[in-house]
């Protein structure tokens, strides 16, 4: 998959440096050429020999090593790289890069490259939240550096918090995405809804559903990676916001409706993956409802149907909806496609393991207006996202 691609992996000094060995191993299995540059501190955690054995290439540890091929190493690696990945990246390396300091092999290589640079920070949570560090990250982002959010979990310091290096598989997936992606969404504006909506009952209770936002966020990330300009309107979820995407937080269906109506006009493609609550309370109690009474009847009224409202006025825009079903999957999805004037509907049976709510995978049938159907096998939501975007482009081509 990565045959002919040169990945330069910068490894900094942190306990997560051992995970970088697996990154190299996974990249080699995908046929990438991997060159490792280790900072001095990194060598205290893992030996260069480990990386040399796995990468089958010399490991660069010092600016003044004897050159292998009589070229200037930081320039030759910088030139040959298709991507430079720094994982784990410490606050120190990020600080140096943000301030133009090039005092070792890794920083000089990054300064001399024109390739994309992907940075995966890993550190103590307080360092990660430090304002100076955050300013450095923002500065680098402005200059086009790409970042991965650290994971949350047990850190070396004993805190259970944000700061862990993402799993090697996720880092390698990101590298593959960057190196293999075509910019086929370059001139397109994509509007996406994701997650659940929450409808208050009283100040402490609400009506909602199990949507995690993973499906909609995967589409937003894929559209951005493929060069699109992406607006993501999201209900309350617990996942990281995608990089380089305009994210609009909403809580209720009414708020999502307002935001979609504000943004839909400039969209070329509108994809509605949100699980919008169909009903809200007719009146919201301003005090917590006491449980003294025997039973409780809530009076509900319909929320606006966002997809239906956009379907009526969409013009040339491509409108794609989802259909979350527990029975009669295809018939129900087809009738929504027609009623809401969609171009495509993505039907998912949320009762099947590996499909629907909160899962990292989905099993979907893409139904076209013509009635043509494409059944996809179980796939990571990231991959489903790409399939949906491919279909969206086909709809545009046919228009
Ligand atoms: O978020 P995840 O955990 O990853 O789960 C993904 C998912 C199951 C939420 C997603 O794959 C999905 O199926 N989303 C649509 C869920 C849904 O509400 O389906 P629906 O059949 O009720 O609605 C049909 C379409 O109309 C959807 O595009 C929905 O966004 C839209 N709709 C529905 C109601 C409403 N009031 N306004 C709407 O716009």
Last residue of a domain, one of 180, 209, 241: 180
The single residue of 3, 12, 157, 281 carrying the catalytic annotation is: 157
Ligand 1 centroid to Cα of residue 334, in Å, is 14
Nearest alpha carbon, ligand 1 atom 16: 275
Q: Which CATH number do you get for residue 119? A: 3.40.50.1950
Provide the 8-state DSSP code for 66.
Answer: P
Last residue of a domain, one of 155, 180, 205: 180
Pairwise CA distance, residues 273 & 31, whole Å? 35
**Three-state SS for 322?**
strand
64 and 208 together in one domain: no
Query: What is the structure's pLDDT at 72?
Result: 58
Total domains in the chain come to 2
E strand or H helix at 98 = helix 91-98
Which residues neighbour 66 within 8 Å (Cβ) at sequence distance 6 or greater?
A: none
Pairwise CA distance, residues 58 & 35, whole Å? 7
Query: What is the structure's pLDDT at 27?
Result: 98
Query: What is the structure's pLDDT at 383?
Result: 87
Query: What is the structure's pLDDT at 70?
Result: 47
Query: What is the structure's pLDDT at 73?
Result: 58
273 Cα nearest atom in ligand 1: 14
Burial 337-358 (b: 16+ CB within 10 A, else e): beebbbbbbbbbbbeeeebbbe
Ligand 1 centroid to Cα of residue 248, in Å, is 18
In a domain, 1, yes or no: no
Instruction: Quickly tell me which residue has 């590996």 as its tokens.
Output: 354
Protein residues with CB under 6 Å of any ligand 1 atom? 193, 195, 211-215, 253, 272-276, 278, 303, 305-307, 321-324, 336, 348, 350, 356-358
Q: Which CATH number do you get for residue 227? A: 3.40.50.10300
Pairwise CA distance, residues 47 & 62, whole Å? 14
In a domain, 285, yes or no: no
Residue-range definition of the domain harbouring residue 234:
189-278+298-398
In a domain, 338, yes or no: yes
DSSP string across 348-373? EETTSTTSSTT-SEE-EEEEETTS-E
Pairwise CA distance, residues 383 & 361, whole Å? 9
What is the mean pLDDT for each group of 10 consecutive residues in the chain (399 residues)? 95 96 98 97 97 95 63 77 98 98 95 95 95 95 89 82 92 92 91 98 97 98 94 96 93 98 98 98 96 88 98 98 97 98 98 96 96 93 94 95
Pairwise CA distance, residues 139 & 101, whole Å? 14
218 Cα nearest atom in ligand 1: 4
Query: What is the structure's pLDDT at 66?
Result: 56
Which residues neighbour 281 within 8 Å (Cβ) at sequence distance 6 or greater?
A: 199, 200, 201, 207, 298, 299, 300, 301
Burial 22-40 (b: 16+ CB within 10 A, else e): ebbebbbebebbbbbbbbe
332 Cα nearest atom in ligand 1: 21
Ligand 1 centroid to Cα of residue 166, in Å, is 29
pTM above 0.85, yes or no: no
Nearest alpha carbon, ligand 1 atom 13: 324
23 and 138 together in one domain: yes
85 and 42 together in one domain: yes
In a domain, 293, yes or no: no
Ligand 1 centroid to Cα of residue 193, in Å, is 9
**Three-state SS for 394?**
helix
Ligand 1 centroid to Cα of residue 216, in Å, is 10
208 and 102 together in one domain: no
Nearest alpha carbon, ligand 1 atom 21: 323
Query: What is the structure's pLDDT at 300?
Result: 98
Pairwise CA distance, residues 73 & 19, whole Å? 25
**Contact between residue 160 and residue 154 where contact means Cβ atoms under 8 Å apart:** yes
275 Cα nearest atom in ligand 1: 18
Query: What is the structure's pLDDT at 193?
Result: 98
- Would residue 281 show up in a list of annotated catalytic residues for this protein? no
Rg (CA), the chain: 24
CA distances from 180 to 45, 163, 378 (A): 32, 28, 22
36 and 130 together in one domain: yes
Pairwise CA distance, residues 354 & 379, whole Å? 9
Pairwise CA distance, residues 267 & 399, whole Å? 15
């Amino acid at each position: 998959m990565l045959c002919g691609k040169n990945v330069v992996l910068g490894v900094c000094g942190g306990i997560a440096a051992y995970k970088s060995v697996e990154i190299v191993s996974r990249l080699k299995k995908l046929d990438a050429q991997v060159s490792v540059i280790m900072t001095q501190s990194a060598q205290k955690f893992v030996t260069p020999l480990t990386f040399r054995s796995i990468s089958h290439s010399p490991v660069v540890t010092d600016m003044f090593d004897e050159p292998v091929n009589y070229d200037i190493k930081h320039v030759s690696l910088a030139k040959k790289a298709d991507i430079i990945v720094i994982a784990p990246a410490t606050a120190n390396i990020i600080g140096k890069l943000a301030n133009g300091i090039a005092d070792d092999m890794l920083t000089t290589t990054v300064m001399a490259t024109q390739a994309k640079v992907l940075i995966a920070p890993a550190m103590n949570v307080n360092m990660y939240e430090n304002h100076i560090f955050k300013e450095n990250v923002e500065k680098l982002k402005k200059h086009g550096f790409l970042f991965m959010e650290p994971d949350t979990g047990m850190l070396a310091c004993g805190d259970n918090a944000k700061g862990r290096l993402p799993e090697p598989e996720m880092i390698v997936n990101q590298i593959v995405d960057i190196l293999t992606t075509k910019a086929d969404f370059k001139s397109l504006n994509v509007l996406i809804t994701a997650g659940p909506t929450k409808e208050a009952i009283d100040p402490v209770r609400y009506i909602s559903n199990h949507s995690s936002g993973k499906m909609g966020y995967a589409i937003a990330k894929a559209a951005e990676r493929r060069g699109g300009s992406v607006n993501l309107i999201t209900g309350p979820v617990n996942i990281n916001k995608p990089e380089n995407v305009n994210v609009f937080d909403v809580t209720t269906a009414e708020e999502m409706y307002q935001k979609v109506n504000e943004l839909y006009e400039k969209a070329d493609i509108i994809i509605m993956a949100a699980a919008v609550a169909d009903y809200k309370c007719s009146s919201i109690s301003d005090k917590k409802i006491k449980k003294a009474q025997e039973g409780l009847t809530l009076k509900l009224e319909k929320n606006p149907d966002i997809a239906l409202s956009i379907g009526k006025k969409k013009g040339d825009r491509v409108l794609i909806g989802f259909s979350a079903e527990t029975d009669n999957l295809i018939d129900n999805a087809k009738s929504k496609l027609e009623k809401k004037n969609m171009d495509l509907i993505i039907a998912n049976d949320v009762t099947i393991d590996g499909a629907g709510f909160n899962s990292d995978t989905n099993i979907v049938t893409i139904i076209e207006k013509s009635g043509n159907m494409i059944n996809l096998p179980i796939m990571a939501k990231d991959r489903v996202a790409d399939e949906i975007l491919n279909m969206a482009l086909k709809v545009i081509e046919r228009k």
